[in-house]
Copies of this chain bind each other. A is one copy, B any other.
């Protein structure tokens, strides 16, 4: 059965299955067997490719972070003024690919993972610093020395909206548009200081 490079596809399938299972169960207490079944392979194969459950989680985290990074880059490419760029970052934060229920649930659980797993912490740190420096860079011309503070305020608000999205039952969940407009409102108030 061994065909040309099944490995990349398998890895991708397992990573996607991991996001899905974390979303369904709502926690990291998913078994490798569950993930593997969802991906249509045996649990032995998952171990074969990733070595351990921990590595599966870390690969999944990298994947989510990569998607997010791509969304930010994409949004930034279309923006020209500083303000447009800040708004683009906000938009990207709630982009369709990253703000799906299961992905948000995965994010939440990655925060938990980061409490104990150094590599998870490092990855989350990279995301934080990048988001922060992106914001500060474009806020500087707009609000001067207050840039770091404003970036922190916006960043915290975005994170908080994610947290609430994870918790809220589907019916009264804030949608992407509402979340974006809330953050942009805060931004507006900061700018007209």
Contact = CB atoms under 8 A, between A and B. Distances in A.
Contacts of A159: 159-160, 163-164
A155 interface: yes
Which of A25, A153, A182 has most B Cβ within 10 Å?
Answer: A153
A180 interface: no
Indicate how many identical chains form the complex. Answer: 2
A42 interface: no
Interface string A96-135: 0000000001001101111110000100100010000000
Nearest to A186: B153
Given A153-B185, A158-B160, A27 B166 contact: no
A130 to B, nearest CB: 15
Interface string A168-192: 0100001000000010011001100
A26 interface: yes
Contacts of A155: 160, 164
A157 interface: yes
Contact of A185 (B25, B29, B149): B149
Interface of A: 25-29, 105, 108-109, 111-116, 121, 124, 128, 149, 152-153, 155-161, 163-164, 166-167, 169, 174, 182, 185-186, 189-190, 193
